[in-house]
Amino acid sequence: MIASIKKIALVGGTHGGELTGIFLIKKFKQYPHLIQRYGFESIAFISNEKAVEVGTRYIDIDLNRAFNCQDLKNPQLINYEQSLAKKIAQRIQQEKIDLVIDLHSTTSNMGLTVILHGDNPDLLKMAGYLTQTNSKVRILQHELNKQSSYLISSAELGVTIEVGAVANGVLDAKLFQETENLVYAILDYLEADKKGQPLPVPPSFTYYSAIGTVDYPRNEQGKIQAMIHPQLQFQDYQPLNPGNPIFITFDGEEIFYQGDETVYPVFINEAAYYEKGTAMCLTKAVRN
Ligand SMILES: [Zn+2]
């Protein structure tokens, strides 16, 4: 419950090349008063210092897939990120952090995406409030299950922020400032709640619920055989209808979306997802 939040952690650098969150967290560490609000405590930390230093997404494995409950208890998993995940999870428990806000960036045109894991109604209301603060705010909802291995799953409540499009290793000043303002809007919303003066939530708003992923067409060796279709590039959160072009081969042959209903793709052509076998995630639009 939002009302019972006593301590928040703002986290950046879970992926070492995502500079927006990294430089924001550095700023918050230097000027901690920026994130202090009435009614709860806020701390800020870089989660994967070594990857940040090297300027790479991760050292051994993706840190944001290393927080599975079973994996955290498994003493045989000791590579860099596996060990780091155990330390971070322990810290979140020991410091009694109720809410983690993990700041990411993406090469996809995701605007200011607020990812909710699960269906906590309080967080959904907060996200609804955020859609009024900047027209680029989108709400993406994922199911949270026992296999969840995201960093945010180590706290009771978690929100992942994905901003883009921006390349890895690149700072975009406008996106930096918009992300900063989004963080303040979250803190202000929680503070107003603590003061018993809740900020207005729109009576109705749209969120996008994840329904699956689509991989690139591949050959038997697993090598990709086509690219994101130019008409789909940067069209995150736009409707994709059955029969619309989705991929194009290196010979220029178009491949069309075969589904039987309109979907709203996100994470289209995210650089880090080539290795995960994900060309895009599909969502359905839900009117709340
Ligand atoms: Zn990331």
245: region left, alpha or beta (phi > 0 left; psi from -120 to 50 alpha): beta
Residue 65 is predicted with a pLDDT of: 94
Residue 116 · residue 127 · CB < 8 Å: yes
Q: Rounded to the nearest whole angstrom, what is the distance from the C-alpha of residue 14 to the centroid of ligand 1?
A: 6
Find the 168 Cα to ligand 1 centroid distance in Å: 9
143 is in an annotated binding site: no
Q: What is the pLDDT of residues 227-251, one digit of tens each?
A: 999 999 999 999 999 999 999 999 9
Res 148: pLDDT:
80
Q: Which residue has the tokens 């960093």?
A: 151
Write down the catalytic residue from 81, 162, 178, 270.
162
The four Cα atoms 3, 207, 24, 47 give a dihedral, to 10 degrees, of 80
Q: Is the peptide bond before 44 cis (omega within 30 degrees of 0)?
A: no
Look at strands 226-228 and 157-164 and give their pairing. Answer: unpaired
What does pTM read for this prediction?
A: 0.96
Q: Give me the pLDDT at residue 114, please.
A: 98
Q: Select the CATH number that applies to the domain covering 211-287 from these four: 2.20.25.160, 1.20.1530.20, 1.10.287.620, 3.40.640.10.
A: 2.20.25.160
162 is in an annotated binding site: yes
pLDDT at position 191 is: 98
From 284, 286, 243, select the one nearest 264 (Cα to Cα): 284
Alpha-carbon distance of 269 to 233, in angstroms, equals 7
pLDDT at 146: 64
pLDDT tens figures, 171-207: 999 999 999 999 999 999 999 999 999 999 999 999 9
Look at residue 143 in the predicted model and tell me its pLDDT.
84
User: Which residue ranges in the chain fall short of pLDDT 50?
Assistant: none
Q: Tell me the C-alpha distance between 266 and 255, whole Å.
A: 18
Sequence-distant (6+) residues with CB within 8 A of 171 are: 19, 20, 23
Residue 53 annotated among the catalytic residues of the structure? no
Residue 3: predicted pLDDT: 85
CA of 141 to the centre of ligand 1 (A): 16
Chain centroid to Cα 116, Å, comes to 8
Q: What distance, in Å, lies between the first and last C-alpha atoms of the chain? A: 20
> Is 229 annotated as belonging to a binding site?
no
Of the CATH numbers 3.30.390.10, 3.40.50.2300, 3.40.718.10, 3.40.630.10, which one belongs to the domain with range 2-195? 3.40.630.10
Per residue, what are the HEC states of the chain?
Answer: CHHHCCEEEEEECCCCCCHHHHHHHHHHHHCHHHHCECCEEEEEEECCHHHHHHCCCCCCCCHHHCCCHHHHHCCCCCCHHHHHHHHHHHHHHHCCCCEEEEEEECCCCCEEEEEEECCCHHHHHHHHHHCCCCCCEEEEEECCCCCCCCHHHHCCEEEEEEEECCCCCCCCHHHHHHHHHHHHHHHHHHHHHHCCCCCCCCCCCEEEEEEEEECCCECCCCCECEEECCCCCCCCCCCECCCCEEEEECCCCEEECCCCCCEEEECCCCHHHCCCCCCEEEEEEEEC
Domain ranges of the chain: 2-195, 211-287
